[in-house]
Amino acid sequence: MPQNADTPADRLREWRRRRGFTQEQLAEQAGLSLAVVKKLERGGAGRLETYHALARALRVRTSQLFDAQPPHTKRHDDSGNLALMGFRRALVPPVTAGGRRLDTVEPDLDLAQMARTAASLNGAYHRDDYATVAELLPHLASSAQLAVDHYAGEAEHSRALRLRSDVLQQAGRYLTQVRVYDLAHLALRDARRDSMSAGDVLGAGSAVSLQAWTLIREGRLDEAERLTVASAEEIEPRISQATTEALGVWGKLWLKGSAAAARNNRPEVAREMLRMARTAGAAMGNRSSKHYKCGSFAASSVVIQAAENYAVTNQPRRVLGLAERMRNVQAATTNTGHRHHLDIAWAHLQLRETAEAEAVLAGLHSGARDWLRHQQMARDTFHGILRGSRQRVSKRQRELAKFFDV
């Protein structure tokens, strides 16, 4: 790493000079505008995808271009606290000096009913009904905590721990989706702990897979890689005897590692991790794993991840080639399918096929609005569509512009 490079702006400038690029040459190599490179070198904020492109041009890991920003460089307010109050009460409740929680939730000790509620909320999440998830999941998390405390030392304690891990993984998944990463990490840390306390190693692997997704969203790519590799090695099943669930969790870990490596400008490592995931997919055949909350896994999941990696590394034709293979194949989860379609829209835009890109975005807008509103890539793709349009703004474009607040 270049010496005395303390900020992302310093690191970018030093690596550019070390490679012998002018700002104009780096912008051209990265497929970015000169204005973007100048802004970043002046200390301006950039999206993770922008740093991916710069890292590819500079032949370094993406993580080498940035690190944590010092706190309080921007003004913050409390506007988001009320919306998250329920999750904060459930995940970080006040505790007395003697360790007594101050919960006000009435305990629900019917573990079977709580499990049915958890299954219902899992279905709501995959229907993109985030309003229902946000309303009911904090209460369920608090009830699960009380149940664990109530059954301490009894036969039902292990079952209560597994249930709470399930609920906390749902909370971590939802909070990562809506980009509340601090609470997501807390939920997933405790979910892993509960699973291990209950002797459920696969449940712990599932929580780790979700944690890796949170790390990727935060740009903590080196950590996500190391976490998934170490965890996959810890739970590696005997392929010939492994259950569908074991193959699914193991395969999912390799997928998350591949996603992190692709974003970290390590394409060879990303391909090797995909090869490991493909081993799990081949062993599963036509089956898919649906039990663990890191999401379902199937052979098709590997193809979709490969397409996402090609999108990250700016290879739109390969994205569309894999999309053609997936035309009549259902994705393992709705979110996986949504993300795949977003990659397809991006690929069309890169090839200047703006009408096709707009049609894909419009389909997502029609069928997955709650999911779409949290996707920065969708917003950026729509901006590109508007820039590339040579016609008057259509009614559909006005609707999308209002949705994306453009």
pLDDT digits 0-9 by tens, 214-256: 999 998 999 999 999 999 999 999 988 899 999 999 999 999 9
Report how far residue 393's alpha carbon sits from residue 388's, in angstroms, rounded to the nearest whole number. Answer: 11
CATH number of 8-65: 1.10.260.40
Work out the average pLDDT over 101-123: 82
Contact 107, 147 (CB under 8 A): yes
Higher pLDDT, 302 or 41: 302
Which pLDDT value is given to residue 84?
82
Domain ranges across the chain:
8-65
Burial of 362 (C-beta count, 10 Å sphere; 0-12/13-18/19+) = middle
pLDDT in tens, 174-195: 999 989 999 999 999 999 999 9
- Lowest-confidence range among 185-194, 268-277, 324-333, 397-406? 324-333
Q: Measured between alpha carbons, how far is residue 55 from residues 52, 172, 225 in Å?
A: 5, 30, 17
What residues contact residue 372 under an 8 Å CB cut-off, 6+ apart? 338, 364, 365, 378, 403
Work out the average pLDDT over 380-400: 86
What's the pTM?
A: 0.84
Work out the average pLDDT over 348-368: 93
Work out the average pLDDT over 30-59: 85
Q: What is the distance, to the nearest Å, from the Cα of residue 130 to the centroid of all Cα atoms in its chain?
A: 16
Report how far residue 1's alpha carbon sits from residue 219's, in angstroms, rounded to the nearest whole number. Answer: 18
Encoded tokens for 278: 């493909």
* Mean pLDDT, the chain, whole residue set: 87
Contact 396, 358 (CB under 8 A): yes
- Lowest-confidence range among 133-147, 152-166, 288-302, 375-389? 288-302
